[in-house]
Amino acid sequence: MAGAIIENMSTKKLVIVGVILLFFQAFSFMVGGPTTAVHYLATKCVDAAKNHQSTKWFMPWGPNQCEKIRTFDEAMAKKIEANNIVFAVHIPLPNMEMSPWFQFMLVILQFDIAFKMHNQIEDGALATVDVGLAYRDDMLSEWTEMAHSLEQRKLNCNFTTTKTYENEGRYYECELLPFMEVGSVAHKYYLLNIRLPVHERKKINVGIGEIKDIRLVCIHQNGGFTQVWFAMKTFLTPSILIIMIWYWRRITLMTRPPVLLEKVIFALGISMTFINIPVEWFSVGFDWTWMLLFGDIRQGIFYSMLLSFWIIFCGEHLMDQMERNRFSVYWKQVGPIVFGSFCLFIFDMCERGVQLTNPFYSIWASDVGTELAMAFIIVAGICACLYFLFLCFMVFQVFRNISGKRSSLPAMSKGLIFRFKFLMLVTLFCAAMTVIFFIISQVNEGHWRWGDHTVQVNSAFFTGIYGMWNLYVFAIMFLYAPSHKRYGDQSSGQCIISDTGANSGEDIQLTTTITHVDGPTELYKMTGKEAQE
C-alpha cells in the first residue's frame, strides 16, 4: 500500500523541507519598494491661436517651451480667456526618462481650488477637462498623439474652516481624482495637455470654484522592483512546473485513475504556473497595454482555483457517508467563488478593459458607473462571505469527524493525524498571513524600521504573499504526491522515479505492474471504504 509522501516521509525530512521553504519565504519579504509617486505641477501655457482645434502641443520647459503665465490674475490682466489656457505637464521631470521597466503609469489629478466668497464650489460640481496625451522618444522629434478625450470628473471638496471673507484664499480639501492609467510605458517622454473649456450656457465648468493650480501625481512601478519581480517569476516558473510534472507522473504511474483531489491539486499547479509564467518580459520590448489586465485575470484565476481547492480538500476529508470524488458534489460551494470572480472580472473589464482604448476612462467618474462598480464589488463581497462560512463549516466538520472516529481508524497513526492537522494549520497560517499583511499594509502606509533597514510593508506584502502561495502550492504537490517507498519494495530492481522530472529519461521502462489499488492517502482510503459500506 502506498500513501502520499506526507504519510511516509520521516519527520526529519519533513522538517528539512519546511525549513528550506521558510528560507525562501524570508527572502521574498526582503525585496525593495514597488512603486514611486512623482509630483507634477501643471504649467499654465497660453494658446495664442484663435482656432483651438490645432494639433499644437505645449511644452512646459526646455527648448520650444510655451508662453507661460504664472497666475490667473496675470491672465486676466492680459485678457487671456479660459479656453486659451493650456495646462501642460511633461512626464517625467527634466533630465529623466521613462522606461518600459516602469510597467505602468497611473496618474492622479488634483485641483488646487481657493475659496472665494463669490465663487464657491457648487454641490455636485463637475469639472470637464479636455485632455490630450502625446509621446516621443527623443528630445527633438515631434510629439505623436496617443489619446485625446473630453472627460468629466466629480469634485468632492470641502472647506474645513468657516466660509468668511477672512478665510478667502485658503484651499478646499478635495478628494483625489483618478485621471489616467496606461498599461505599458513604451516611450521615453510623455506630454499631457489639459484644458478647462468654459461654456456658460451649457453649464460646462461653471461653479467649480477658483482653480489656482492643477497638480498631478504619477505612480509607476520601480525599475528595480520590476527586475526583481521578473527574476522571481522566472525562477518560480520552472520550480513549480517541474514539481507539477513530477507529481503528475507519479499519479499516472499508479494503476487506478486519479481521484478528484489529485486532479484539483494538479489544476492548482497549472493555475500557479499560469500566473508564474513571466510573459511580462515581453512588455520590455513590446508596447502591450493589455498586460495589466492580463495580469489581473491571471491572478483572478489563481485565487479562485485556490479557494475551490480548499473547499474540495476539506470535502474529500470529510469522512461522512456520502459518495464524493465527483466535482458535481461541490457546485454549491464552488458556485459562489466562480460567480464572485466573474463579477470582479466584469468590473475589471469595465475599468481596465475600457482603458485599453481610452486611458482617461474611469468607471468612478460617472454616477451610473460608480453604482455599477459598487454593485459588482458588493456582490463579490457577499460571495466571499458565503464562501468563508462554507469553508469554516467544513473545516469544523473535518476536525470533528477525525477526533470522533480516531478509535475506529486503527491504520492511522497519531503522527498521521498530526500531519493532516499540520497542513490544515499551514493553510490557515497562509490565509492569516495574507489577511494580516493586507491589513498592515493598509493601516501603516510607510515603512517599518528594522535596525538600519527599512522594510517596505507594501512590497513585502506583494512579493511575500506571492512567494508564500507559490511555496504553498509547491509543498502541497510535493507532500500529496504518491510515495515511492512501497513501489520500491514490489518492483524490485526497477528504476524508480526520482525526485525531479529532470532525469525522466531513465523512467521510461518504469514499472506499471503495481497490482493493488492505491488511494491517494490512507485517510482517503478509509473514508472511501466507509462510503462504500
Partner 1 sequence: MDVCRSTSTTRGRRPSAGSHQYLTLTVALLLLACSSQLLLVDATNNWWSLALTPIQRPEMYIIGAQPLCSQLSGLSQGQRKLCQLYQDHMTYIGDGAKTGIKECQYQFRQRRWNCSTVDNTSVFGRVLQIGSRETAFTYAVSAAGVVNAVSRACREGELSTCGCSRAARPRELPRDWLWGGCGDNVNYGYRFAREFAVYNLANVACKCHGVSGSCSLKTCWLQLADFRRVGEFLKEKYDSAAAMRVGRKGKLEQVDKRFNAPTPEDLVYMDPSPDYCLGNATTGSLGTVGRLCNKTSEGVDGCELMCCGRGYDQFKTHKHERCHCKFHWCCYVKCKRCTTLVDQFVCK
Q: Which of residues 321-360 bind partner 1 (CB under 8 A)?
A: 344, 347-348, 351
- Is the CB of 115 or the CB of 309 nearer to partner 1? 115
Question: Does residue 300 touch partner 1 according to CB under 8 A?
Answer: yes
Minimum separation from the CB atom of position 299 to partner 1 (A): 5
Name residues contacting partner 1, limited to 97-116 (CB under 8 A): 97, 99, 101, 106, 108, 116
3-class SS shares of the chain: helix, strand, coil, % to 5: 50, 20, 30
Instruction: Quote the CA–CA distance of 428 and 300 in Å, as a whole number.
Output: 20
Q: In sequence order, what DSSP letters do the residues of 191-207 get, joined into one string?
A: EEEEE---BTTTTBT-S
Question: Does residue 138 touch partner 1 according to CB under 8 A?
Answer: no
Q: Name which position in 4, 21, 29, 40 contacts partner 1 (CB under 8 A).
A: 40
The amino acid sitting at 461 is: F
Q: Name which position in 36, 55, 490, 512 contacts partner 1 (CB under 8 A).
A: 36
Q: Name which position in 24, 171, 288, 342 contacts partner 1 (CB under 8 A).
A: 171
- Is the CB of 8 or the CB of 441 nearer to partner 1? 441
Question: Does residue 118 touch partner 1 according to CB under 8 A?
Answer: yes
Minimum separation from the CB atom of position 282 to partner 1 (A): 19
- Is the CB of 76 or the CB of 378 nearer to partner 1? 76
Number of residues that bind partner 1 (CB under 8 A): 73
Phi-psi region of 203 (alpha: psi -120 to 50; beta: other; left: phi over 0): left
Q: Name which position in 445, 452, 489, 533 contacts partner 1 (CB under 8 A).
A: 445
Question: Does residue 34 touch partner 1 according to CB under 8 A?
Answer: yes
Minimum separation from the CB atom of position 21 to partner 1 (A): 23
Residue 355: which residues within 8 A CB-CB, separation 6 or more? 181, 182, 183, 361
- Is the CB of 198 or the CB of 270 nearer to partner 1? 198
Phi-psi region of 493 (alpha: psi -120 to 50; beta: other; left: phi over 0): left
Question: Does residue 37 touch partner 1 according to CB under 8 A?
Answer: yes
Backbone angles phi, psi at 490, to 5 degrees: -85, -45
- Is the CB of 169 or the CB of 238 nearer to partner 1? 169
Question: Does residue 176 touch partner 1 according to CB under 8 A?
Answer: yes
Report CA-CA distances (Å) from 111 to 19, 214, 383: 52, 5, 38
Closest-CA residue to 420 (of 432, 412, 411): 412
Minimum separation from the CB atom of position 512 to partner 1 (A): 44
Cell numbers 491517494 correspond to 520
- For residues 199 and 111, is the Cβ–Cβ distance under 8 A? no
Q: Name which position in 56, 136, 148, 215 contacts partner 1 (CB under 8 A).
A: 215
- Is the CB of 222 or the CB of 237 nearer to partner 1? 222
Q: In sequence order, what DSSP letters do the residues of 94-153 get, joined into one string?
A: TT----GGG--EEEEEEEEEE--TTSPBPTT-EEEEEEEEEEESSSSSPPEEEEEEEEEE
Name residues contacting partner 1, limited to 383-412 (CB under 8 A): none
Q: Name which position in 3, 9, 90, 324 contacts partner 1 (CB under 8 A).
A: 90
Question: Does residue 130 touch partner 1 according to CB under 8 A?
Answer: no
Q: Across the strands, what pairs with 154? A: 126
Question: Does residue 170 touch partner 1 according to CB under 8 A?
Answer: yes
Minimum separation from the CB atom of position 337 to partner 1 (A): 15
Phi-psi region of 64 (alpha: psi -120 to 50; beta: other; left: phi over 0): left
| HSE-up (13 A, CA, CB side) for residue 374 | 8
| HSE-up (13 A, CA, CB side) for residue 178 | 16
The piece of 85-93, 308-316, 422-430, 482-490 that touches partner 1 (CB under 8 A) is 85-93
Closest-CA residue to 177 (of 112, 222, 120): 112
- Is the CB of 33 or the CB of 482 nearer to partner 1? 33
The piece of 76-84, 308-316, 381-389, 396-404 that touches partner 1 (CB under 8 A) is 76-84
- Is the CB of 300 or the CB of 501 nearer to partner 1? 300
Secondary structure (3-state) at 65: strand
Question: Does residue 75 touch partner 1 according to CB under 8 A?
Answer: yes
Q: Name which position in 461, 469, 487, 524 contacts partner 1 (CB under 8 A).
A: 461
- Is the CB of 391 or the CB of 460 nearer to partner 1? 460
- Is the CB of 164 or the CB of 328 nearer to partner 1? 164
CB atoms within 10 A of CB 452: 5
Q: Name which position in 206, 245, 267, 372 contacts partner 1 (CB under 8 A).
A: 206
Minimum separation from the CB atom of position 505 to partner 1 (A): 41
Question: Does residue 442 touch partner 1 according to CB under 8 A?
Answer: yes
Q: Strand 210-221 to strand 453-456: parallel, antiparallel, or no bridges (unpaired)?
A: unpaired
Torsion angle, CA of 358/359/362/365, rounded to 10 degrees?
-80
Question: Does residue 184 touch partner 1 according to CB under 8 A?
Answer: no
Q: Name which position in 67, 81, 499, 506 contacts partner 1 (CB under 8 A).
A: 81
Report CA-CA distances (Å) from 404 to 302, 320, 400, 485, 533: 34, 11, 6, 30, 18
Minimum separation from the CB atom of position 372 to partner 1 (A): 13
Q: In sequence order, what DSSP letters do the residues of 256-315 get, joined into one string?
A: SPPPHHHHHHHHHHHHHHHHHS-TTHHHHHS--TTHHHHHHHHHHHHHHHHHHHHHHHHH
Question: Does residue 431 touch partner 1 according to CB under 8 A?
Answer: no
Q: Name which position in 25, 299, 366, 511 contacts partner 1 (CB under 8 A).
A: 299
